[in-house]
Amino acid sequence: MSSEHERAVEKVLEAGRLLSTAAVMFHTAVAEHSGLTATESKALEVIQRLGPITPGELAAESGLAPASVTGLLDRLTRKGVARRTPHPSDGRRFLVEIEPDLVARNTVLFTRFVTGLRELCAHYDTAELAVIDRFMTEAAALQQEATAELAGDASTTGGADDRRNGR
């Protein structure tokens, strides 16, 4: 590997740390504005993005331990931002869904930021955006794997491998 390539890698890693910090700070501010913790806010984002999901699916997607997800869902339900609904095909299970009012309330918090991101994307052609998308998706999968390892649940890493490899 050339030293030029290594310098480029280091710049990407530094940019990733900057983006990570900015994302944590932004989502912490959004969560506080909504009366939630950052973890609660991001769990709601997962639920909104994937639709009604089981607690196990939330654990796998977030990298949180299943026991942690149970407490998290209890808090979200008490705060009135998520609800448990019967599973349509398995009466022993339930799904978790986000309260529709929360989506409407939180959309305004993201409008300016998302508008800025769309403007930023306008500076890149379709091929460049595809590379950025692939890199960000693969980096997210690696971070989910690291999260699962820290949470002590290696069973969630297969999903991240599948996403990173396009499966």
Do 30 and 44 have their domain in common? no
Do 114 and 140 have their domain in common? yes
Do 29 and 61 have their domain in common? no
Q: How far apart are CA 7 and CA 64, in angstroms?
A: 34
Tens digits of pLDDT across the chain (167 residues): 689 999 999 999 999 999 999 999 999 999 999 899 989 998 999 999 998 999 999 998 887 888 899 999 999 999 999 999 999 998 889 999 998 888 888 888 899 999 999 999 999 999 999 999 999 999 999 988 888 788 775 444 444 444 444 54
Q: How far apart are CA 148 and CA 153, in angstroms?
A: 5
- The pTM score is 0.73
Do 48 and 62 have their domain in common? yes
Domain of 144 in residue numbering reads as: 107-167
Residue written as tokens 């499966």? Answer: 167
Do 53 and 87 have their domain in common? yes
Going by C-alpha positions, the residue among 4, 74, 81 that lies closest to residue 35 is 81
CATH number for the domain that contains residue 91: 1.10.10.10
User: How many distinct structural domains can be found in the chain?
Assistant: 3
